Structure 1
Amino acid sequence: MISTIEEYIRLCDSDCRSDNRRTIVEELSHDVVSTILNHYPERLVWLAHNKRLPLEVLEILSNNETEDIRFTVAMTRRCNRKIFENLLLDKSESIRLILVRNKKL
């Protein structure tokens, strides 16, 4: 588990692919997720790639103003009905198209 924001940032900024991968596959503490959501908007794209994010966080990210973040959420296999319905009405055609190609949906 990645338990501190300092560790998360170090892993994201590392030149080592295995460090970067940890930010995607390892669980993040509630404090790390909360800190990113509230204080590090530039890290939201990285956060959206994490495969263990709670659905509540994916729902928040699906409403983000940044298209890249919404696109990443639309590609995740963990979308629930609320996220799906939200993104189905997205203003971006590319997000609606990638959502339709999501194998889980």
Structure 2
Amino acid sequence: MIQSAEEFIRLRDSEIREEYYRATFEEAEEGVWERVIEKYPDYKIWVIRNKTVPVEILAQMAKDPDPNVRQEVALKRKISESIFRLLAADPDEGVRSFLLSNTKLTLEQKKAVKTDDSPWLAEKLEEILRNAES
């Protein structure tokens, strides 16, 4: 288990494969993730990419001002319904595009993603729906 924000950063930046993998696959308490986000904001995406990150941390990151952070959340397979609803109406069409790429979402969920303000996003959704029919 990752014990501190500093340990996570050290593992993430390590050139030793086993340590690098620990940053991706090992658990940490929610407080550790919160400290990483607070003290090392450049590592938010790496927190999101951890396979064990709690949904509560994802919910926090889904409200981040940086659309790149929200895009990473949109790709997570374990997002909650409330995170989905928030991101489905995100002002950034890139975030909504990443959400449409989330393989865990049902077609009904994908249809609920806001596309009316973006012709290319509407086209992407139509393509997803066409491919699902074939």
- TM-score normalised to structure 2 length: 0.71
8 Å Cα contact 1:70/1:95 also seen in 2 = yes
Give the Cα–Cα distance (whole angstroms) in 2 for the partners of residues 24 and 54 of structure 1: 13
CA 1:71 to 1:17, structure 2 compared with 1: closer, same or farther past 3 Å?
farther
- 1:20 partner letter: Y
Residue 69 of structure 1: aligned partner? 69
Query: Shift in Å at residue 101 of structure 1?
Result: 2.1
Correspondence 1:4-43 to 2 at 5 A = 4-43=4-43
1:53 aligns with 2:50: no
Give 5+ residue unaligned stretches, structure 2.
Answer: 106-134
Structure showing greater relative contact order (alpha-carbon pairs closer than 8 Å, 6 or more residues apart): 1
Is contact 1:74–1:102 with CA below 8 Å preserved after alignment? Answer: yes
Conserved 8 A contact 1:3-1:31: no
Q: Which runs of 5+ in 1 are unaligned?
A: none
| Cα RMSD for the two superposed structures | 1.4
Give the drift of 1:82.
Answer: 0.6
* Number of residue equivalences: 105
1:100 paired residue number: 100
- Give the corresponding residue for 2:114: none
Q: Which runs of 4+ in 1 moved over 6 A?
A: none
The TM-score normalised by the length of structure 1 is 0.89
Q: Which amino acid aligns with 1:85?
A: R
Aligned to 1:80: 80
